[in-house]
């Protein structure tokens, strides 16, 4: 036991000797003589919740983050004790609790130490606010690395850093700036090839220190609430991330169009300007699915109104855009203008829906419309009301998606940029101050918006995007990384942020392509769009103050590059959609940082630039001007250069050519990449044939293809088609087997199979166990391609 007198002198209190013990099914209670209780719950064999009470009483057990559908259940739970310790065993873990101190240590079943308390739980009473500042300190191992924590714009490996979570409107944030918009108190530790995660589910301002204050110690604390964290064991990082995502929830499948390219600016208006931009996409044959209306579409920035001078007939405009394949998405902010003649304000006042100061008046603050009041989205009644407000926009006008901004919540012209701490919130029936509700305000707004859009968009799927978020927000909404800057450094940040969000449970994220503040050069825009098409959410947005930022706003060369890469995204839509399905089904992140992909390779632990898109494509953006290529780390395994189709061996750093119209892209051997034809928007074409780009690989490999109606909910009733391709490659033959699930009928009948890297000349082709002639399968020896029925079960190619 560590007795820390210095900390004690600073007013910290620590648990002492355990004097009482109780077990209730899956939950164990250890009570110390000084009335601290550790409540330990076994949620799953690898997911353990630790919760501490002081003074012998727990708070109401309530969380906005935990998904009610989270898996529960374990195979084994056994308790033992000896003189010094209690020992809890599950089928994956051994948790040891010291009787003298309540300090815990967690081991795997082979006895390897995974994580252990340093001082462990301690706290300080907060006289000023009431409640406790709750703290936890853990030992950091010698070579331990740390990842996660949402949108932090800093190196992906957090060792040596201290960060805090306090949602902040941080216009033109800088590298290493902290905190910014989101608050995701979840990190992954990796040591000795074993990964675990810690989710500190506390909405107060939280801090995480990864060996910055003290070498050898990692700690986290909050300015109120309970010490309440979930320990999630791997040992694979993928197990940690998918378990965390299971705990905090997954989204539903978005409509496929939401994975298309989207165009935004502050602001496109009037109507003629919106139409002009839309028409230009079609004229230049640059695919685009979404067009955004920023705050100027409203009447004096009043939410749920239209500026009739700029947009005389929104319904007609939205329909005309829709006829041309554009989905209209509109911004809705939380600030409701104080205006006695404005119906939303009137309803809010009449029903007492706005947040109040401690002494009674409504919380008042300046945002775009001037003085505003702010709905208390932590009140279920307010959320219902808010959801109902979308009826006209969605049902009548035909808007397809809603963009929630300024929901940190942001307040202008005040030093703290947000509500004062005394503001009251309902917090779903457990009233509290803004200190506790601040970090989840944005998520509850997005949740209410999602419920509204979903209700009125039904039977189509909703689309919502938010700027602020807390853990669990992914159940309701996509997100973007806020007001970045048009600089090369920000391109580096953008790449890290989206990867980090992906391993923090929130895969459906993108950045303002080209940068929001300031103006990119054509070259920077080209490099950004190259990266952006590999982000789950893909949208150009800019403040519009310095010039245009559409794909054609630079020179023709840049337009061609933008078209080339957006085309590639549209060709890969079935691959991307399959990735998304797996995220929805299993919590698998869409992008995988290299350390996630191969944690056993220590080379990956500090890599930031390269990532895996889905399971099979290695992407590495060019992050510098005037580049003709770059050095990059290619992870272990064999990879095909996507452009040249040449195979290289990974496991080392190497130079890769990539002139301005290319970006390093590699496909893993043994991959089937499904491709749709290029469409100007999702659903433009009836897909008549799907191309399978098949990259030969020795040994066994697998790939998947998920398809459905691309919108609506039929897929929940088995109307989907989920194909698994299993491949076995040998020197002189190659077998591809297909298994299919679901009963959705795709519009096409055939696959065009394009064989890449085949190490032999084909002598014989067997299809479903029968030899077929080359003509039967339209074999094209130059392209090395053949056409077969989509429902084949086995294709066997034999070489001479």
Catalytic residue IDs: 405, 408, 483
Write the CA distances from 677 to 85, 537, 710, integer angstroms.
63, 20, 15
Nearer of residues 169 and 598 to ligand GLC, judged by Cβ: 169
- 266 makes contact with ligand GLC (CB under 6 A): yes
Nearer of residues 378 and 549 to ligand GLC, judged by Cβ: 549
Closest approach of Cβ 445 to ligand GLC, in Å?
A: 14
According to CB under 6 A, which residues from 626 to 655 bind ligand GLC?
none
Give the H/E segment covering residue 245: helix 237-248
Closest approach of Cβ 450 to ligand GLC, in Å?
A: 19
Write the CA distances from 160 to 203, 216, 265, integer angstroms.
24, 10, 38
Which is nearest to 507 in space by CA: 611, 603, 383, 601?
611
What are φ and ψ of residue 436, in 5° steps?
-90, -35
Per-residue buried b or exposed e for 373-409, using 16+ beta carbons within 10 Å of the residue's own CB: bbbbbbbeebbebbbebbeebbeebbbbbbbbbbbbb
356-365's contacts with Cβ under 8 Å and 24+ in sequence apart are: 356/423, 356/424, 357/420, 357/422, 357/423, 357/424, 358/422, 358/423, 358/424, 358/433, 359/422, 363/419, 363/420, 363/423, 364/338, 365/335, 365/409, 365/411, 365/412, 365/414, 365/419
Task: Let me know the angle formed at the C-alpha of 395 by 389 and 399, rounded to the nearest 5 degrees.
Answer: 90
- Alpha-carbon distance 211 to 189, whole Å? 12
According to CB under 6 A, which residues from 520 to 579 bind ligand GLC?
541
Closest approach of Cβ 145 to ligand GLC, in Å?
A: 32
x/- map, 288-327, ligand GLC, by CB under 6 A = ------xx--------------------------------
Cis peptide before 267 (omega within 30 of 0): yes
Which is nearest to 295 in space by CA: 307, 284, 286?
307
- For residue 437, the number of C-alpha atoms closer than 13 Å in the C-beta half-sphere is 29
Task: Let me know the angle formed at the C-alpha of 524 by 520 and 529, rounded to the nearest 5 degrees.
Answer: 105
Task: Let me know the angle formed at the C-alpha of 173 by 473 and 291, rounded to the nearest 5 degrees.
Answer: 60
- Alpha-carbon distance 464 to 399, whole Å? 11
According to CB under 6 A, which residues from 123 to 182 bind ligand GLC?
none
Nearer of residues 117 and 483 to ligand GLC, judged by Cβ: 483
Closest approach of Cβ 397 to ligand GLC, in Å?
A: 19
Closest approach of Cβ 355 to ligand GLC, in Å?
A: 21
- 609 makes contact with ligand GLC (CB under 6 A): no
Nearer of residues 58 and 266 to ligand GLC, judged by Cβ: 266
According to CB under 6 A, which residues from 401 to 420 bind ligand GLC?
405
Nearer of residues 389 and 406 to ligand GLC, judged by Cβ: 406
Closest approach of Cβ 708 to ligand GLC, in Å?
A: 31
- 329 makes contact with ligand GLC (CB under 6 A): no
Closest approach of Cβ 511 to ligand GLC, in Å?
A: 11
Adjacent-strand bridge partners of 656: 630
Nearer of residues 43 and 329 to ligand GLC, judged by Cβ: 329
Per-residue buried b or exposed e for 467-492, using 16+ beta carbons within 10 Å of the residue's own CB: bbbbbbbbbbbbbbbbbbbbbbebbb
Closest approach of Cβ 265 to ligand GLC, in Å?
A: 8
Cis peptide before 459 (omega within 30 of 0): yes
Cis peptide before 670 (omega within 30 of 0): no
Adjacent-strand bridge partners of 24: 27
Nearer of residues 95 and 303 to ligand GLC, judged by Cβ: 303
Closest approach of Cβ 263 to ligand GLC, in Å?
A: 13
Contact between 603 and 595 (Cβ < 8 Å): no
Closest approach of Cβ 515 to ligand GLC, in Å?
A: 12
DSSP class per residue in 343-366 = HHHHHHHHTT-B-B-TTSSBP-EE
Output Rg (C-alpha) for the chain, integer angstroms.
27
Q: Which two tokens stand for residue 236?
A: 């694979």
Closest approach of Cβ 294 to ligand GLC, in Å?
A: 5
3-state secondary structure of 633: strand
Closest approach of Cβ 495 to ligand GLC, in Å?
A: 19
Size, binding site for ligand GLC by CB under 6 A: 9
Cis peptide before 230 (omega within 30 of 0): no
- 331 makes contact with ligand GLC (CB under 6 A): yes
Q: Which two tokens stand for residue 687?
A: 């897909």
x/- map, 430-469, ligand GLC, by CB under 6 A = -------------------------------------x--
305-311's contacts with Cβ under 8 Å and 24+ in sequence apart are: 305/342, 307/269, 309/270, 310/269, 310/270, 310/271, 311/269, 311/270, 311/271
Nearer of residues 442 and 505 to ligand GLC, judged by Cβ: 442
DSSP class per residue in 461-516 = PP-EEES-EETTGGGT-EEE--S-BSSHHHHHHHHHHHHHHHHTT--SEE-EET-S
Closest residue to ligand GLC, judged by C-beta, is 266
Maximum Cα interatomic distance, the chain, rounded to a whole number of Å: 86
Which is nearest to 169 in space by CA: 302, 376, 333?
333
Instruction: Indicate which single residue of 482, 515, 551, 757 sits in contact with ligand GLC (rule: CB under 6 A).
Output: 482
Nearer of residues 331 and 437 to ligand GLC, judged by Cβ: 331
Contact between 206 and 222 (Cβ < 8 Å): yes
x/- map, 80-99, ligand GLC, by CB under 6 A = --------------------
Report the length, in residues, of the chain.
800
- Alpha-carbon distance 601 to 61, whole Å? 41
Closest approach of Cβ 154 to ligand GLC, in Å?
A: 20
Nearer of residues 528 and 666 to ligand GLC, judged by Cβ: 528
According to CB under 6 A, which residues from 380 to 399 bind ligand GLC?
none
Instruction: Indicate which single residue of 144, 271, 483, 707 sits in contact with ligand GLC (rule: CB under 6 A).
Output: 483
Q: Which residues of the shown chain bind ligand GLC in the complex (CB under 6 A)? A: 266, 294-295, 331, 405, 467, 482-483, 541
């Amino acid at each position: 036991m560590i007795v820390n007198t210095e900390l004690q002198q600073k007013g910290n209190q620590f648990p002492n000797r355990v004097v009482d013990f109780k077990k209730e099914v899956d939950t164990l209670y250890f009570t110390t003589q000084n009335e601290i209780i550790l409540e330990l719950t076994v949620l799953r064999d690898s997911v353990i919740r630790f919760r501490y009470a002081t003074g012998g009483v727990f708070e109401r057990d309530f969380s906005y983050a935990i998904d009610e559908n989270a898996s529960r259940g374990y195979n084994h739970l056994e308790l033992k004790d000896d003189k010094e310790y209690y020992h809890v065993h599950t089928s994956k873990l051994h948790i040891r609790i010291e009787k003298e101190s309540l300090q815990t240590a967690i081991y795997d079943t082979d006895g390897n130490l995974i994580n252990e308390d340093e001082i462990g739980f301690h706290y300080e009473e907060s006289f000023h606010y009431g409640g406790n500042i709750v703290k936890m300190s853990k030992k950091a191992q010698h070579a331990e690395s740390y990842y996660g924590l949402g949108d932090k714009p800093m190196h992906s490996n957090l060792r040596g850093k201290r960060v805090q979570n306090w949602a902040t409107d941080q216009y033109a944030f800088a590298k290493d700036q902290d905190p910014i918009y989101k608050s995701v108190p979840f990190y992954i530790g990796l040591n000795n090839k074993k990964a675990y995660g810690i989710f500190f589910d506390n909405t107060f301002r939280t801090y995480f220190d990864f060996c910055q204050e003290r070498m050898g110690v990692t700690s986290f604390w909050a300015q109120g609430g309970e010490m309440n964290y979930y320990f999630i064991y791997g040992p694979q990082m993928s197990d940690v991330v998918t378990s965390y995502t299971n705990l905090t929830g997954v989204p539903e499948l978005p409509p496929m169009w939401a994975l298309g390219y989207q165009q935004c600016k502050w602001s496109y208006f009037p109507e003629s300007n919106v139409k002009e931009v839309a028409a230009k996409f079609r004229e230049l044959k640059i695919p685009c699915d979404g067009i955004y209306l920023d705050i100027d579409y409203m009447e004096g920035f009043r939410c749920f109104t239209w500026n009739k001078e700029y947009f005389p007939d929104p319904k007609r405009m939205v329909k005309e855009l829709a006829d041309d394949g554009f989905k209209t998405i509109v911004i809705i902010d939380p600030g409701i203008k104080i205006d006695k003649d404005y119906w939303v304000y009137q309803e809010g006042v009449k029903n007492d829906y706005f947040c109040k100061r401690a002494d009674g008046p409504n919380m008042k603050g300046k945002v775009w419309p001037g003085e505003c009041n702010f709905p208390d989205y932590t009140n279920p009644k307010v959320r219902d009301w808010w959801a109902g407000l979308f009826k006209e926009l969605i049902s009548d006008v035909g808007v397809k998606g809603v963009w929630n901004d300024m929901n940190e919540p942001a307040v202008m012209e005040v030093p703290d940029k947000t509500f004062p701490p005394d503001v009251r919130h309902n917090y779903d029936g457990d009233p509290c101050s803004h200190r506790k509700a601040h970090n989840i305000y944005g998520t509850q707004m997005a949740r209410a918006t999602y419920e509204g859009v979903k209700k009125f968009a039904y039977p189509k799927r909703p689309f919502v995007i938010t700027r602020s978020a807390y853990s669990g927000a992914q159940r309701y909404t996509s997100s973007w990384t806020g007001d970045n800057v048009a600089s090369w450094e920000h391109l580096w940040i953008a790449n890290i942020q989206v990867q980090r969000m992906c391993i923090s449970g929130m895969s459906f994220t993108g950045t303002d392509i080209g940068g929001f503040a300031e103006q990119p050069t054509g070259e920077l825009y080209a490099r950004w769009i190259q990266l952006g098409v590999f982000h789950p959410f893909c949208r150009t947005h800019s403040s519009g103050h310095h010039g245009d930022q559409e794909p054609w706003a630079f020179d023709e060369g840049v337009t061609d590059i933008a078209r080339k890469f957006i085309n590639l995204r549209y060709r890969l839509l079935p691959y991307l959609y399959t990735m998304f399905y797996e995220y929805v089904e299993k919590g698998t992140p869409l992008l995988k940082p290299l350390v996630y992909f191969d944690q056993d390779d220590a080379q990956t632990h500090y890599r930031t630039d390269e990532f895996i898109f889905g399971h099979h494509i290695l992407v590495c953006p060019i992050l510098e001007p005037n580049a003709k290529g770059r050095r990059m780390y290619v992870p272990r395994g064999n990879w095909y250069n996507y452009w040249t189709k040449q195979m290289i061996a990974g496991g080392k750093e190497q130079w890769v050519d990539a002139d301005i119209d290319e970006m390093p892209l590699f496909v893993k051997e043994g991959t089937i990449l499904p491709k749709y034809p290029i469409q100007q928007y999702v659903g433009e074409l009836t897909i008549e044939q799907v191309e399978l780009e098949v990259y030969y690989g020795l040994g066994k490999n697998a790939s998947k293809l998920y398809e459905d109606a691309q919108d609506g909910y039929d897929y929940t009733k088995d109307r989907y088609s989920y194909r698994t391709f299993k491949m076995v490659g040998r020197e002189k033959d190659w077998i591809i087997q297909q298994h299919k699930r679901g009963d959705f009928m795709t519009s096409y009948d055939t696959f065009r199979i394009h064989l890449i890297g085949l190490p032999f000349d084909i002598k014989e082709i067997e299809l479903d166990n029968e030899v077929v002639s080359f003509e039967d399968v339209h074999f094209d020896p130059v392209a090395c391609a053949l056409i077969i029925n989509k429902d084949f079960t086995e294709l066997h190619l034999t070489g001479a």
